Structure 1
């Protein structure tokens, strides 16, 4: 039977390899990435196939559940980017919003608590990480208290990001009547997600009227309960009221319903209280939430940024903890510097991801060689903010400037087109640069060799 066993192994392996190749050639990726995966599959199929199914498949499983609510009135485009995103099926920019940007962990944690304690009917939340520390436990305990008071509480945590979650506190939340859900399971079972696709969004919606979102997870590194004891990292989040919150409600409802494996409600099923809240025009901010990920057709955020950088006339400023751009983004930034634009990149001198730091070196020095200005944090300060400014508009949110956020993860960014919000982020960016040293990191020959090797793994870092 040895020959039969060998024959079946060959047939089975060949079938899997053919399946992987068919998936591979249909997906949007660079020719270099496609060629590398094909070579890997043919040379080491029994190693490459499991790795490809775990890490190499893009957007394989979740058709969009999003049904963006129609605005109460169609507004004129806020900018060329507004038009671009509308053409991709995204919600349009909305005026009349009020936004409060949190520049440190103490004000962010206080703002998050205000939304939770002020809720009258519902609290829905999703975070990539809720740590098992004093901040994470305090957050879950506050949700538990509100659940005991009769508020409907639903909390979703990413399965991988939630490995260090406060399990006992979450169990008490369940006992109080709250729902605790997990997104993106590890195993690539049909309809259940894949290890490579993580829900990186950070959003809390209270009563469908108020939103907390941005780049902060819930934990001691990101937030602080004491203004005198600041958080370990520098990050950005925000609280939002006004018409733009409808898009965040839609995104979060879709994610929660996907975790339940049920269809999202149609726009007409939105409670009247949420419709009234969204119609209230609280301020002067012109904002446009943009989701991206496996629930969105195409690569909306990535393509929007590539288009915006090519159209830029004055400046492109970017802050990110992990700088591993796609080839298109790296090329667009290099061309922008050669066109004489003010191109600035703000990154930590040393992040919490050593492999990502190795992989980014070639990209950072390439940008500096083209004429871009690179700012590195001093004193081992970790900057975890994800934001940018291009000419007269800005964005902030959950998406890093890397392949994983642009092509793989569930993300959400908020684009701002009003002068007040852009000026706020401009001032913040310049304040951060003043605390940095300018110039790309130095690297020895062995490190440069290591950087070149790890650059190949950028899509999974």
Structure 2
């Protein structure tokens, strides 16, 4: 009987290997990623096949319906693009850039906390909230308690959190919110059917939408590291924003899509009728992830980097770009563009610090600059490319660009882009410029990591 069992095991492994290979070849991946997965499955099928079934799926149209945007079609011609990148995003099917918006950048943790609490307490009809992390600390508890107070006042409160990010959330405060009538859900459970590919796809989006009219979003989660009533000595430098205007509609569309996946409920679209804000900002929301048919953020940034003429200034906690993004940066530096990448001297992810070394060294050898923020951790995800800017939830790494659910706000008006530049230059005053450590062992290890990165 033992030989029969051995034969059956071989047959099962071969069938699973062939199935995984067929799926891989049908997915939209880089050639390096496809080759890396196929090689791993052929060499170590009993390891690679289960790993692929748990982690390998990147786009799953059957599980994630594409986000449906209410574009407010008036029957006239499509809006004239305000920027080359705006035209690119419209070709991807995303809503056009919206002028006349009110936009306030928030780089101070106390100011951000006060803005968040004012937004929550001022809501009269509905609060739709989505975060990767809601921490079990004073900030997290105060935030959830504020939601609870609004629920008691009759405001419809929906709170959605990523299950891995909020693995240890403020449980008691969340129970109080549910008891008050708030609806609390978790995205992407840790225990799920093998082969769903969902475990590796985290919802990294962050937003608070009040009454379909105002939104808070950006890099900040809810926790004392990011924002709070008092700034911590070891608090993280971050960037968020408050937005008011018709561009808020796109945030609502994204939230509705995520809520339907997590809850199974079909929410009725609620077209907003914004008042004239009198604002001067021109912005465009670009979501990315498994629920977006292609990769508009990744591909759009590549196009913007290749078209850049004067400057490319990036801020990111983790710098592990795709090969296409990394190549676009080094080519821009060789063309004479002022390329600067600002990262924390030491982040909260030591592996990411190690992995970035080869990419930053390539950039510096091409004439670009790596800036290492000295005071502590920087968690902001933002940048300026010539006369446009962006701020959002997506790190400049493979995971954010090609795997996670993210939202990024593109900014086209000169005033806000100027404010982003001022913020960047202020951070730069606290940075050192140096090359990543080198050595034969380190270079070999970085090369191995870089070889394995495409397996995503």
TM-score (norm 2): 0.95
Q: Tell me if 1:407 matches 2:402.
A: yes
Rounded to whole Å, the distance in 1 between the matches of 2:339 and 2:400 is: 21
Shift of 1:262: 3.8
5+ unaligned residues in a row in structure 2: which ranges? none
Shift of 1:427: 0.5
Q: Secondary structure at the match of 1:139?
A: helix
Shift of 1:438: 1.4
Number of the residue aligned with 1:305: 301
5+ unaligned residues in a row in structure 1: which ranges? none
Rounded to whole Å, the distance in 2 between the matches of 1:65 and 1:190 is: 23
Shift of 1:188: 4.8
Number of the residue aligned with 1:75: 79
Shift of 1:282: 3.7
Rounded to whole Å, the distance in 2 between the matches of 1:41 and 1:191 is: 15
Shift of 1:193: 5.7
Q: Name the CA shift for 1:185/1:460 in 2 (closer, same or farther; >3 Å).
A: farther
Shift of 1:3: 2.5
Rounded to whole Å, the distance in 2 between the matches of 1:214 and 1:399 is: 9
Number of the residue aligned with 1:362: 358
Rounded to whole Å, the distance in 1 between the matches of 2:278 and 2:159 is: 27
Q: Mapping of 1:239-318 within 5 angstroms? A: 239-265=242-268, 269-270=269-270, 275-277=272-274, 279-318=275-314
Contact 1:243 1:280 in 2 (8 A): no
Q: Mapping of 1:29-428 within 5 angstroms? A: 29-60=29-60, 61-71=62-72, 74-189=78-193, 194-226=198-230, 229=232, 232-265=235-268, 269-270=269-270, 275-277=272-274, 279-379=275-375, 381-428=376-423
Contact 1:65 1:264 in 2 (8 A): no
Contact 2:37 2:455 in 1 (8 A): no
Rounded to whole Å, the distance in 1 between the matches of 2:27 and 2:397 is: 18
Query: 1:260-298: per-residue Cα shift (whole Å, max 9, x none)?
Result: 124453xxx41xxx5223x53340110000100000001
Rounded to whole Å, the distance in 1 between the matches of 2:453 and 2:267 is: 34
Number of the residue aligned with 1:15: 15
Rounded to whole Å, the distance in 2 between the matches of 1:231 and 1:83 is: 41
Rounded to whole Å, the distance in 2 between the matches of 1:369 and 1:223 is: 37
Q: Mapping of 1:439-454 within 5 angstroms? A: 439-454=434-449
Q: Which moved more, 1:100-109 or 1:32-41?
A: 32-41
Q: Name the CA shift for 1:283/1:437 in 2 (closer, same or farther; >3 Å).
A: same
Count the aligned residue pairs: 452
Shift of 1:441: 2.4
Q: Name the CA shift for 1:385/1:127 in 2 (closer, same or farther; >3 Å).
A: same
Q: Secondary structure at the match of 1:316?
A: strand
TM-score (norm 1): 0.94
Contact 1:62 1:294 in 2 (8 A): no
Contact 1:106 1:231 in 2 (8 A): no
Q: Which moved more, 1:90-99 or 1:181-190?
A: 181-190
Q: Which 4+ runs in 1 deviate beyond 6 A?
A: none
Q: Tell me if 1:26 matches 2:48.
A: no
Rounded to whole Å, the distance in 2 between the matches of 1:124 and 1:440 is: 44
Number of the residue aligned with 2:432: 437
RMSD: 1.8
Q: Secondary structure at the match of 2:167?
A: helix
